[in-house]
Structure 1
């Protein structure tokens, strides 16, 4: 008996309809909301040496986080505008709104201007309210100036491309310290720099293994073996500076050495776990996603936080 149409097995599978394009969604993705957690984590580190009561620091800390969130959003947006042609040759970056043509360059520039206005209003408002004086915002200015130089050519220079990005996180730390009117702990600054350098090197390694060197000229100055050597060096420097920071921290007083020895295994495990995700599991393209969505890393971080917090509470109650 003849059939009137194709059988069920012969019928083409229904394809899931893609979500309709949304300009608002695309504009939001340009400023990388998934990366804002970096500011929430790094900036408050600068408050560790604060001498003022905690309540007085909340306004300055919140303002520093907001300002760096706006500044980093501006940097992401400008980089996407300047890299749009190169991003089209990358297997993942070609889907970014500007590279894919969903957001026009004129619209992106207008959006950048809005962010500049918001950033200026935030800094001015903090100065008028007495939260943070204008002179204390120099890390933001340095960060933006550094990224202008980065976007105009330094991002194509091997080694400078990763060192500049890592330095941006140290400037976040300094901004947090200025919000607390306290000096930046030297070993903490080195620890933040080397840790961020390791994460950026891991991202470069992932880019090489996935997309090759064509989409990012600076990658021509690296090999996977060279990046592995730099990753190991950065990991060791992070571990050493972490131990020295905890050991000499005023928070733990003469218990600093004991706290450093107690928490160092968890810090080392976190570093080793990231390298495992990068080199064994071929992850690392998005360090924030790799770290915050990995259950092993999150569990280890919670245990480390509990030990550090418990140690600080013990020292405070014992003194």
Structure 2
């Protein structure tokens, strides 16, 4: 006779019993404290929540991209025909205006793209996509930026600010659909940098140099096309619909074309803006720097697989930084000698 202890244990699962499953993780448009409340998890202390949202709001306007305004707007300072009174103040104010405008554009772009960003391996960590900043908070933040920008434009020392208005219109159309149209997506972004340069000339009261604008536009195309190439080689075309209209070979041809246009038009601008007898010195001295800087960028793009962050290349690559400093010394000395 066997006892119950001698009987084998029945380890089979009863199919009639429900199997507990973990609930799916969902990311909503609520801020983090609301999500904690909805899921029953303890909310963070108020101070920690405030710090988290504050960091998210700062990250939302992408301060790492602000140097773009510093690299383009002050081009008006290189005018060799004489600096009018208020040039520095006007140019600095133009930098402030475009920093506010670009920050507003970043907020709007992240609001529009929050659902798509959640599916991207990197962009899903952006403040709105990750839930660090709620949609109502982001909308209020964008409204505040728009209000500050309007006040700065209307009551600041810069009276002619139509490039900023065009920039905002273009980027609104870009966020709403143009970003998905091949070629138009890169040309709209490059136009934003040309508008920065125009605003710098208008703010400083200096004459607009057409060759400089062409050079800025083509140089920005080089960087943007290089960024698209990097995106294709690293992540494919699934995360950005416009990439389906490109191929790596096609982008290589466009980058080479725009690189040549950039160098030539910049040298033509020197011929137009640098007065005699230092014109030849400026052109001959700038040629090796311009060619080396472009060659270095292409090396980083094609050989080392860079190009994803053009601003980082310009500010952190040692060869590029040293080249830029020596080139600036040459041009600065030439322009100083021209004035005196």
TM-score range, shorter chain: 0.7 to 0.9
- The alignment yields a C-alpha RMSD, in angstroms, of 1.7
TM-score (norm 2): 0.82
- 1:109 and 2:139 are equivalent in the alignment: yes
- 1:299 and 2:329 are equivalent in the alignment: no
Per the alignment, residue 71 of structure 1 pairs with: 101
* 3-state secondary structure, aligned to 1:115: helix
1:175 to 199, 204, 207: 199
Q: Rg larger in 1 or in 2?
A: 2
- Structure 2 residue ranges without an equivalent (≥5): 1-47
Q: Distance in 1 between matches of 2:255 and 2:272?
A: 26
- 1:226 and 2:247 are equivalent in the alignment: no
Q: Give the superposition deviation at 1:52.
A: 6.7
Q: Please say if residues 74 and 116 of structure 1, whose CA atoms lie closer than 8 Å, have aligned partners that are also in contact.
A: yes
Per the alignment, residue 309 of structure 2 pairs with: 286
2:123 to 93, 104, 112: 93
Q: Give the superposition deviation at 1:252.
A: 3.4
Q: Give the superposition deviation at 1:64.
A: 0.8
- 1:210 and 2:234 are equivalent in the alignment: yes
Structure 1 residues 87-166: aligned runs within 5 Å: 87-126=117-156, 131-133=157-159, 136-166=160-190
2:86 to 29, 44, 56: 56
Per the alignment, residue 280 of structure 2 pairs with: 257
Shift in alpha-carbon separation, 1:303–1:53, aligned structure 2, 3 A: closer
TM-score (norm 1): 0.87
Q: Please say if residues 246 and 257 of structure 1, whose CA atoms lie closer than 8 Å, have aligned partners that are also in contact.
A: no
- 1:309 and 2:339 are equivalent in the alignment: no
* 3-state secondary structure, aligned to 2:306: coil
Q: Give the superposition deviation at 1:50.
A: 7.7
Q: Distance in 2 between matches of 1:132 and 1:293?
A: 32
- Structure 1 residue ranges without an equivalent (≥5): 1-18
Q: Please say if residues 80 and 339 of structure 2, whose CA atoms lie closer than 8 Å, have aligned partners that are also in contact.
A: no
Q: Give the superposition deviation at 1:42.
A: 0.9
Q: Please say if residues 83 and 206 of structure 2, whose CA atoms lie closer than 8 Å, have aligned partners that are also in contact.
A: no
* 3-state secondary structure, aligned to 1:22: helix
Q: Please say if residues 202 and 285 of structure 1, whose CA atoms lie closer than 8 Å, have aligned partners that are also in contact.
A: yes
Q: Give the superposition deviation at 1:168.
A: 0.5
Q: Distance in 1 between matches of 2:81 and 2:328?
A: 22
Q: Give the superposition deviation at 1:304.
A: 0.6
Per the alignment, residue 30 of structure 1 pairs with: 60
Higher mean alpha-carbon deviation, 89-98 vs 22-31, is at: 89-98
2:296 to 261, 273, 279: 273
Q: Please say if residues 80 and 338 of structure 2, whose CA atoms lie closer than 8 Å, have aligned partners that are also in contact.
A: no
* Alignment coverage as a number of residue pairs: 292
